[in-house]
Amino acid sequence: MKKSLRWLVVLVLSVSMVAMFSFGGCKKEAAPAEEEVAEEEAVEEEQKTFGIALSTLQITFFQAEKKKLDELAAEKGIDLVYAVCELDANKQLTQIEDFISKGVDAVIVLCQDSKSISNAALKCREAGIPIIAMGKPPENIEDFDATVRIDGVETARVAADAMNEAAKKQGYDKVKVIECIGDLNDQNAIMRTEGFVERAGELEFEIAASIPTEWNAELCYENLNTAVQSNPDINAVYAPSDYLLSPVMQVLEQHEKLHKRGEDGHVIVVTVDGDPRGVQSIKEGYLDADVNTDAFTIAKLSFEAALDVLDGKPVDKEIWVPNVPLTIDNIDDFGDEIWGVAYSYILEEE
């Protein structure tokens, strides 16, 4: 009887242990499913939206910035909401106010007006929304969480140095140049003329004329045509953006001054931006140098700055983009790492 009782106890204990481990196993199998649900909920909670305020998409440089932002957002799983003000500063302010009302997590802005954009920045800061200035620096840097910018003064100085080197290769003893000026409501344009004039003085250039363009190709053509008529002996032109390259070439051709590097009568042309037309013109022999202010790099640094601010990481108020002068001697070294090469297909489509 005692022996039977012992076996009964052993049997009960065995069944209990099997049941315990079976239930324990069930709990362990359920854990991954619970973890997956928790992960999905975390992803939903972390989903962020950036408001991207652009001044225009009619310029290839800004199209390239948008392309890079789209790529980065897709990689990070961030939604982008775009607003384009079409060069209207008041409209840009309204668009950013709309971003604020929609509760975006961060704003990246390509400033239309360097002064008035501070009104939008202050409203973002009041709402607790980080705002990053992309490429075009605002007048009041402190109003923004960060500004990704090019040192416009240094860019122009690099352009003047490149012009000086081109003059030596061409055999010119003195540079007599017409300077094109961008829109003076644009801080970049202001710095790109200040730096050029400063360095041109140091290099003893003669600035025959400084013509306003307001970043308008037609105005550039008209004023440059008049300046060349008044100064037929110029041997150089400085354009602070590749956007003005087409009217510059048209005017030179009209006055029978469009000759390739090394040819008699070649007018040295130096520009800024490094866009596809600039790259092509260097390879064709008509453009001497193009200071590359890379659109891909500007967009990448702006996007990363917005993420870092949201993550509570320290971010510099000013984030500087390097200036790289492109010439026939180095342009093939970069491949499609620079935006002007990567976007060269647009010339084939035109």
**Beta sheet of 131-135, edge-to-edge order:** 79-84, 49-54, 106-109, 131-135, 146-150, 318-321
Residue 133 pLDDT grade (very low, low, confident, very high; cuts 50, 70, 90): very high
Q: Name the least confident of 51-55, 135-139, 342-346.
A: 342-346
The per-residue pLDDT for 171 is: 97
| Superfamily (CATH H level) for 48-149+295-322 | Response regulator (3.40.50.2300)
> How many Cβ atoms sit within 10 Å of the Cβ of residue 260?
10
Q: Is 306 exposed, middle or buried (0-12, 13-18, 19+ CB in 10 A)?
A: buried
Mean of all residue pLDDT scores within the chain? 88
pLDDT higher than 50, residue 57:
yes
**pLDDT greater at residue 25 or residue 228:** 228
Beta bridge partners of 238: 179, 270
Residue 327 pLDDT grade (very low, low, confident, very high; cuts 50, 70, 90): very high
User: Distance of alpha carbon 241 from its chain centroid, rounded?
Assistant: 14
Share of the chain above pLDDT 70, in %: 85
Q: 157-173: per-residue pLDDT in tens?
A: 999 999 999 999 999 99
Q: What is the mean pLDDT of residues 318-340?
A: 90
**pLDDT greater at residue 36 or residue 163:** 163
Residue 347 pLDDT grade (very low, low, confident, very high; cuts 50, 70, 90): low
Q: 265-275: per-residue pLDDT in tens?
A: 999 999 999 98
Q: Name the least confident of 38-47, 142-151, 294-303.
A: 38-47
Phi, psi for 239 (deg, rounded to 5):
-120, 120
Six-digit token string for 337: 């790492």
**CATH 3.40.50.2300 domain locations along the chain:** 48-149+295-322, 152-292
- Fold adopted by 152-292: Rossmann fold (3.40.50)
